Amino acid sequence: MASLTSIATPYPSSSQALRLKSSGNTLFSAGVRSAAMGSGQKTFKIQCTSTKPAKPAAEVDWRQKRELLLEKRVRSVDVKEAQRLQKENNFVILDVRPEAEYKAGHPPGAINVEMYRLIREWTAWDIARRLGFAFFGIFSGTEENPEFIQSVEAKLDKEAKIIVACSSAGTMKPTQNLPEGQQSRSLIAAYLLVLNGYKNVFHLEGGIYTWGKEGLPVETIEED
């Protein structure tokens, strides 16, 4: 029987599954220092769950996201124009806020797909993130929803006319204090949509907060 005499140690920066093949008594692979084994050809797969996963959309540089949004002609509309487009041109308002906020009040006919959700997994990386939130007194840490696009695709096809909305929204418009605008959950969602082939994406300027402030109709959903 082969015996393991040393343990493969992944480098801290590695975040991929590593495939190791035996060659004599020593195994070598990117992200792994070494491991010695007895004779015999064996293949192993190691998942480095303690390391950070691929960069989420929120961490992509805002200038890069804004450039793509402008290139794809994503346009910001105010709440009254959004209401008109919804009524007259079959636009769908995609509310990307957490489900609880959506249920508390949303534009009539809006659909909800969370851009961020509560952290669900319990890998070492996720535990570390929970501890980081807890350090600041936040015990319901969130993460970018990895199923966001799949959930949207289940409800809306790529030709759908979409107005993306969040709480107060950011802006692509330059100002003196913000020469490149300011990102938000809805703009990050819009970026993901155009990146994945959606062709008719608009952005709700001012967000759901402004929708309510302007006295436009709001629907609520009662909790069971």
Report helix, strand or coil for 80. helix
The stretches of the chain forming alpha helices (DSSP H) are: 62-71, 79-88, 99-104, 124-135, 148-155, 185-195, 207-213
Which residues are CB-neighbours of 125 under 8 A, at least 6 positions away? 49, 50, 51, 52, 53
Q: Is 48 a catalytic residue?
A: no
Which residues are CB-neighbours of 21 under 8 A, at least 6 positions away? 27, 29, 41, 43
Q: In the numeric block, which tokens belong to residue 208?
A: 């759901």
Using alpha carbons, select from 91, 113, 38, 116 the residue that is nearest to residue 204.
91
Using the 8-state DSSP alphabet, how is residue 116 labeled? E
**At residue 84, what is the residue type?**
R
Report helix, strand or coil for 207. helix
**At residue 214, what is the residue type?**
E
The torsion angles phi and psi of 111, rounded to 5 degrees, stand at -110, 155
Catalytic residue (one of 69, 92, 166, 190): 166
Using alpha carbons, select from 113, 86, 105 the residue that is nearest to residue 217.
105
Give the residue numbers marked as catalytic.
166
